[in-house]
Amino acid sequence: MLLNQISSTIAKELNIKPRQVDATTELLDAGNTVPFIARYRKEVTGSLEDEQIRNISERLTYLRNFVKRQEEILAKIEEQGKLTDELKTAIEKTAKLQELEDIYLPYKQKKRTKAQQAREMGLDPLAARIMLQQDTKGTPLQFAMNYIDEEKGVTTAEEAITGALYIIAENISEDAKLRQNLREYLWKNASIVTTLDEEKEQTEEGQIYLMYKEYKEPVCKLPSHRILAINRGEKQECLKVKLEIDNERVLADIEKKFITADSIYNTLLKDSIADSWKRLIEPSLEREIRSQLTETAEKQAITLFGSNLKQLLLQAPLAGHTVMGLDPGYRTGCKMAIIDPTGHVLDHGVLYITHGDKGAAESAKKALALIKKYNVTLLSIGNGTASLETEEFAAKLIRDNNLDVHYIITNEAGASVYSASPLAKEELPEYDVTIRGAVSIARRVQDPLAELVKIEPKAIGVGQYQHDVNQKELTAALDQTIETAVNHVGVELNTASPALLKHVAGINATIAKNIVSYRNENGAFKSRKELLKVSRLGNAAFTQCAGFLRISGAKSPLDNTPVHPESYQLATDILKELGTDLKALSDKKQLEILQAKLKLVDIAKLAQKLNAGEPTVKDIIDALAKPGRDPREDLPAPLTRKAVVKLSDIQVGTIMKGTVRNITDFGVFVDIGIKTAGLIHITELSHKFVKHPLDVVSVGDILTVMVISVDEKRGRIGLSLKQVPKENAI
C-alpha cells in the first residue's frame, strides 16, 4: 500500500466517500478533537458521527504505521542486496500486516538458528540439490560426501545431510504462501482443547473452571467471553491449553507442495517437512492464533464495556430531589448522608439498622426526623452488604409513616474507590471515608454522569473480564467513551467538578483545575468569553471546548445552549428572520411562540438565504427550541420503589419490572428490586436469533420480564423477555 492510497482504503472500509476521509484527516491533523469535529464541522465532514471519526482516526494511525513498516522492510531488504522488482511489487501490494511480515520473514535478522549454522558450514548447495529432487540413483550419503569440510565443522556425510535438512526446514517454514494457506486451514479446522489441573481441581479457584475440565471447541466458534475465561484459567495455572490439529492432513498438504518428484531424497524431505512443521511452523502459528483470538476477544470485551459504560453515564438523572444516601453495613452500621438538589451535604450520620430491635427502632426515629427536617423525597440505597436489610428498613419506614418518599437501589460499585481517592478528600475534606461513600451513592442518582466520571471506569462494574484485557487499550477506549458522553450532554460551567471538566473537548486536567480556581477566585462565569481569562486556556482550547460548556443565567442566553460562539451571529440572524431576538429565549411566553415558528422553518431555504450550511442551521434551530435542555431528559427515569421483594417471595411465572444493570456476551443482568440480579440468557431475549444482547437492550433500560427459574440455594434467578405475554409487555 502506498501513502496516497490510505484515504481510498479507509473510505472503502467504512463505506464513506474519500473526500470525507480527506477532510476529517485534515481536521484531525490540525489538532481538532473528535467531539468538536462531529458537532461543529458537519459541513466539512459530510455530517460524520463521533464513532465514524474515531474509526477514521484509528485506521489512519494504523495504516500510516503500516506504510512506515513497508518502507522499513524495503530498506532493510535493499541493504541486503536482495530486493528484486517482483519482491518490491509484492510488498507494496500487501495490505495486511501479517502478510507483510510473512514476506519479510526469510530476510529478517534472527537469532543464530540451526539453519544459519548449516549455511555457515557451506551446506546451502546440498540443500538446494536435495530440493531439486533430480537424483534417482545412488544414495543421499554418496552425494553428501562432497560437502564434508572439517574446517567448517562438517566431519561426516550424515552431518552434512542433517545440516542441509535444517536449511530446508527453515526455508519451508518461511514460505509466505504456505504459511497463509496453513493459517487459513487452522482457523477453519483447529480446535482449542483444555484440561483442568488435578491438584487445582480441589481448590476454590479450580472449581470455577470445572466446565473446562475436558473441553474442546473449534477455534472458529469460540466466543469472546470463553476465550478470556480460558486465558485466565491458564494464567492461574488451573488449565492447560493446546491447539488440536489434524497433523497427518497438514503434513500431507505440505508434502504435496514440496515433494514434486520421485527421487532418492523422498524420505529425507518427509523428515525435514515434519521437522519444519513440528519445530517451526506449528508453534509459530499456534502462538499467532492464540494471540489473535485474545486480541479479538479483548477488543470485544473493551467494546462491550465501553457501550455499557456509555449507557450508564447517559442514564436519566433524578433531578430536583433531596436525597438520603444509605451505604449499608452490618458491624459498623449504615452510613447516611443527606444532600440537597445541587449535591451539597446537609447532614450525615450512622443508622444501626441491623443492631437488634432497639437499634432499628432508634434508627427509624432518627431517619424519620431527618426526612421531615430536610424534606427528603428519595432514598438511595447501595446494593452491597446488608442492602436487603436496609431496603426492608426503608420500606417499613415509608409504610408505617405514610411517607411520600420512594427509594431506589443504586449500584454502589466504585463508591469505596472514590471515597478513598484524593479527589474525594479534596471535595469532602470534613467527612471520613465512610460518609463520602454515602454521599457518592446519593449523588449518583441525581446526576449519574457528573458523579461516575470521578470513579475509575474499571471500578464501576459494567464490564466483562475487564481486568484481563490490555489495560492501556481499555483505558484509552473508556476515556473516549466518557469524552463522548460528557460532550453529548454538555457541562454546566459554574458547578462542574475538575473530574467532569477534564473530559470536555479541548480541556485537560490542568486546565480543568485552572477553571475551578478561577471560578473560586472570581465567582461564577457570566459568559463563555470569560473562559479566555483562565490560565493556559487559549484560543485553540476555547474553540474546542466553548460549545460544550453551558452557563445557566448567562448574559447571553446562547451561552446556555449547544450553539458555538462562532455561530452566535448566525443564530441571531435566524431569530431575526423569525421576527424575534435573543430575549425570546429567556421569556416563557415568547419562547413558546418561537418554538411554534421553529417547527415550520424550511431549513434548506433558510440556510441558502443566510449562506450557511444546512446541518449547522438545523442544529442551531434545535438548540434555540430548547435552551438549557439536557438530552438525558428524553430518557425514561430510573425505577423507584416503595415496597420490598424477597427472593423467597418470587415464584416462577411472575411478571416483574427491572432495570438492566450489566450486559455480557451471553446475557443481560437485570435489577428486579432484590439484592440478587436476575439473568436473561441471550436465548431468552427474543423469539428471533440474537447475535448479541446489545442488539436488543441497553444498560439502564427498564424491562418487563418473566421469572422462569429460581434457585434460592445458589442465589440465582432466571428471567425471560421473550416469554412475557403481549398484554404485559411494555
Place domain 517-634 in its CATH homologous superfamily. Tex RuvX-like domain-like (1.10.150.310)
Give the residue carrying C-alpha cell 489512519.
60
Residues with Cβ within 8 Å of 508's Cβ and at least 6 positions away in sequence, in order, are 502
Q: Give the integer Cα–Cα distance in Å for 422 and 445.
A: 22
At 642 the pLDDT is: 64
Consecutive 10-residue averages of pLDDT for the chain (730 residues): 85 96 97 98 97 96 95 95 94 91 92 93 97 95 95 95 97 96 97 94 89 94 92 94 96 96 96 97 97 94 90 89 95 95 95 94 97 97 86 92 92 88 92 94 94 87 78 90 95 94 97 96 97 97 97 94 97 96 93 94 96 97 91 74 67 85 90 82 92 89 89 86 74
One-letter amino acid for residue 7 of the chain: S
Contact (CB, 8 A) for 346 and 379: no
Q: Does domain 323-446 have CATH number 3.90.950.20?
A: no
pLDDT at 538: 97
CB within 8 Å of 389: residues ≥ 6 apart: 328, 353, 354
How much is the pLDDT for 466? Answer: 78
In 329-447 the beta strands, taken as DSSP E runs, fall at 334-339, 345-351, 378-382, 406-410
CB 714 within 8 A of CB 681: no
**Which CATH architecture group holds 647-720?**
Beta Barrel (2.40)
**Spatial contact of 328 and 387, defined as CB atoms under 8 Å apart:** yes
Name which of 629, 625, 612 is nearest 580 in CA terms.
Answer: 625
**Among the listed residues 312, 308, 306, 332, the one whose alpha carbon sits nearest the alpha carbon of residue 411:** 312
Residue 524 neighbours by CB distance under 10 Å: 13
Rounded Cα–Cα distance for residues 230 and 32 (Å): 41
Angle of helix 588-599 relative to helix 614-625, nearest 10 degrees, comes to: 150
Q: Please answer whether residues 617 and 603 qualify as being in contact, where contact means their C-beta atoms are separated by less than 8 angstroms.
A: yes
> What separation in angstroms does the CA of 12 have from each of 7, 20, 24, 100, 533?
9, 11, 15, 21, 45
Return residue ranges of the chain for CATH 1.10.150.310: 517-634
Q: Please give the Cα distance from 349 to 577 (Å, whole number).
A: 58
Distance CA 206, CA 586 (A): 65
Q: What is the DSSP string of 201-244?
A: HTSHHHHTTGGGTEEEEEGGG--HHHHHHHHHHHHTTSEEEEEE
Judge contact between 338 and 322, C-beta under 8 A. yes
Question: H/E element holding 154?
Answer: none
d(CA 261, CA 171): 18
* CATH 3.30.420.140 domain residues, the chain: 323-446
Grouping H, G, I as helix, E, B as strand and the rest as coil, residue 344 is coil
> Whole-angstrom Cα distance, residue 151 to residue 382?
80
d(CA 428, CA 434): 11
**Residue in the block written with cell 483545575:** 513
φ, ψ of residue 654 in degrees (nearest 5): -70, 135
Beta pairing partners, 191: 218, 244
Collect all residues with Cβ–Cβ distance below 8 Å to 233 and sequence separation of at least 6: 194, 208, 209, 212, 239, 241
Q: C-alpha angle with apex 504: 499 to 509, nearest 5 degrees?
A: 45
Name 112's Cβ contacts closer than 8 Å, sequence gap at least 6: none
Give the pairing type, strands 491-492 and 549-550: parallel
Residue identified by cell 421531615 is 372
Distance CA 616, CA 564 (A): 10
CATH no., domain 3-107: 1.10.10.650
* DSSP 8-state code for residue 708: E
CB count in 10 Å sphere of residue 525: 21
Lookup: cell for 115: 539453519
Helix 266-275 and helix 247-258, axial crossing angle in degrees, nearest 10: 130
Grid cell in block for residue 333: 452500621
Its pTM stands at 0.84
Pairing of strands 702-711, 716-720: antiparallel
CA angle (630 as vertex; 625, 635 as ends), nearest 5: 105
What is the per-residue pLDDT for 648?
73
Contact indicator for 681, 667 with CB cutoff of 8 Å: yes
Q: First and final CA of the chain: distance in angstroms? A: 52
Tally the C-alpha atoms within 13 A of residue 82's C-alpha that lie toward its C-beta: 9
659 beta partners: 671, 702
Q: What does the block give as the cell for 358?
A: 432497639
Q: Give ranges for CATH 2.40.50.140 in the chain.
A: 647-720
